[in-house]
Amino acid sequence: MSPPARVKFQALLLGLSCLTLLGCASQAPLKRDPRDPLERMNRVTFAVNEKLDRAIAKPVARTYRRVTPHFVQTGVSNFMDNINYPITIVNELLQAKFRPALSDTGRFVLNTIAGVGGLFDPATAAGLDKNSEDLGLTLGHWGVHQGPYLILPILGPSSFRDGFGRLGDEFITPQNYISNDWVRYSLDGVYYLDTRARLLDVEGALDNVFDRYAVLRSIYLQHRQYKITGGAEAEDAPEDELPPDPDAK
Alpha helices in 24-117 (DSSP H): 39-52, 58-67, 70-83, 85-94, 98-113
What tens-digit pLDDT sequence spans the chain (249 residues)? 444 545 544 444 455 445 454 444 444 444 578 999 989 999 999 999 999 999 999 999 999 999 999 999 999 999 999 999 999 999 999 999 999 999 999 999 999 999 999 999 999 999 999 999 999 999 999 999 999 999 999 999 999 999 999 999 999 988 888 889 999 999 999 999 999 999 998 887 787 888 999 999 999 999 999 999 986 655 454 545 444 444 443
Q: How far apart are the first and last CA of the chain?
A: 63
Q: What pLDDT is recorded for position 4?
A: 54
Q: What pLDDT is recorded for position 48?
A: 97
The answer to whether residues 121 and 111 touch, using CB atoms and an 8 Å cutoff, is yes
Rounded Cα distance between 178 and 159, Å, is 29
The answer to whether residues 144 and 203 touch, using CB atoms and an 8 Å cutoff, is no
Q: What pLDDT is recorded for position 6?
A: 54
pTM of the model: 0.81
